[in-house]
Amino acid sequence: MDSSGDEAAGAEIKRKPPAVAKAKAAGKGKAAGPKASASTKESSLLKQKSPAEFFAENKNIAGFDNPGKSLYTTMRELVENALDSAESISELPDIEITIEEITKSKFNTMIGLVDRERVDEALYDDFESEKAREKRLAKEARFQETQAKNAALGKKVKEAPAVRVKGRGEAAFFKVTCKDNGRGMPHDDIPNMLGRVLSGTKYGLRQTRGKFGLGAKMALIWSKMSTGLPIEIKSSMKGQNYVSFCRLDIDIHKNVPHVHLHEKRENKTHWHGAEIQVIIEGNWTTHRSKILHYMRQMAVITPYAQFLFRFLSDAADKNLTIKFARRTDVMPPVPLQTKHHPSAVDLLLIKRLITETTKQNLLQFLQHEFVNISKSHAERLIGEMGPDFSLKMAVKSLTSQQLVRIHQLFRQAKFDDPNGNCLSPAGEYNLRLGIIKELHPDMVATHASSPQVFEGHPFIVEAGISIGGKDVKHGLNIFRFANRIPLLFEQGADVITRTAVKRINWSSYKINQQQDKIGVFVSIVSTKIPFKGTGKEYIGDDITEISSAVKSALKQCCLQLKSKIVKKLQAQERQDRKRNLNRYIPDVARAIMETLVEIADESPPKRPRYDKEDEELLEKINSQEVTEITFKDCLTQHVEQVDYEMALDYTMQSGVSEEPREAIFLNSLEGSYKFVDFKSPVFMFRFIP
Q: For residue 241, which amino acid is it?
A: N
Is 212 a known ligand-binding residue? Answer: yes
Q: Is the distance from CB of 363 to CB of 378 less than 8 angstroms?
A: yes
Is 149 a known ligand-binding residue? Answer: no
Q: For residue 588, which amino acid is it?
A: V
- Please give the Cα distance from 100 to 75 (Å, whole number): 12
Is 358 a known ligand-binding residue? Answer: no
Cα 32 vs. chain centroid, distance in angstroms? 62
Is 671 a known ligand-binding residue? Answer: no
Is 217 a known ligand-binding residue? Answer: yes
Is 175 a known ligand-binding residue? Answer: no
154: left (phi over 0), alpha (psi -120 to 50) or beta: left
- Please give the Cα distance from 292 to 315 (Å, whole number): 19
Q: Which helix (H) or strand (E) holds 250?
A: strand 242-251
SS3 for 278? Answer: strand
- Please give the Cα distance from 350 to 369 (Å, whole number): 10
Q: How many helices (H) and strands (E) does the chain have?
A: 19, 18
Inter-axis angle of helices 347-356 and 362-369, to 10 degrees?
A: 110
Is 156 a known ligand-binding residue? Answer: no
- Please give the Cα distance from 661 to 560 (Å, whole number): 14
Beta bridge partners of 462: 448, 523
- Please give the Cα distance from 332 to 585 (Å, whole number): 57
Contacts of 278 (CB under 8 A, 6+ apart): 74, 175, 176, 216, 219, 220, 223, 229, 231, 232
- Please give the Cα distance from 603 to 598 (Å, whole number): 10
Pure H helices in 281-346: 284-301
Is 180 a known ligand-binding residue? Answer: yes
Is 137 a known ligand-binding residue? Answer: no
396: left (phi over 0), alpha (psi -120 to 50) or beta: alpha
Q: Give the number of C-alpha atoms closer than 13 A to the C-alpha of residue 432, restricted to the C-beta side.
A: 17
Is 536 a known ligand-binding residue? Answer: yes
Largest CA distance in the chain: 163
Written as one string, the DSSP assignment of 570-604 is HHHHHHHHHHHHHHHHHHHHHHHHHHHHHHHHSPP
Is 56 a known ligand-binding residue? Answer: no
In 3D, which of 550, 551, 561, 522 has the Cα closest to residue 444? 561
Cα 586 vs. chain centroid, distance in angstroms? 58
How many CB atoms neighbour CB 576 within 10 A? 10
- Please give the Cα distance from 344 to 348 (Å, whole number): 12
Instruction: Write the DSSP symbol of residue 305.
Output: S
Q: What is the CA radius of gyration of the chain?
A: 38
Contacts of 234 (CB under 8 A, 6+ apart): 243, 244, 245, 274, 275
Is 211 a known ligand-binding residue? Answer: yes
Q: Which helix (H) or strand (E) holds 480?
A: strand 475-482
Q: Give the number of C-alpha atoms closer than 13 A to the C-alpha of residue 5, restricted to the C-beta side.
A: 2
Is 427 a known ligand-binding residue? Answer: no
Q: Is the distance from CB of 469 to CB of 439 less than 8 angstroms?
A: yes
Per the annotation, binding residues for ATP are 81, 180, 201-202, 210-217, 536
Q: Which residues are annotated as a binding site?
A: 81, 180, 201-202, 210-217, 536
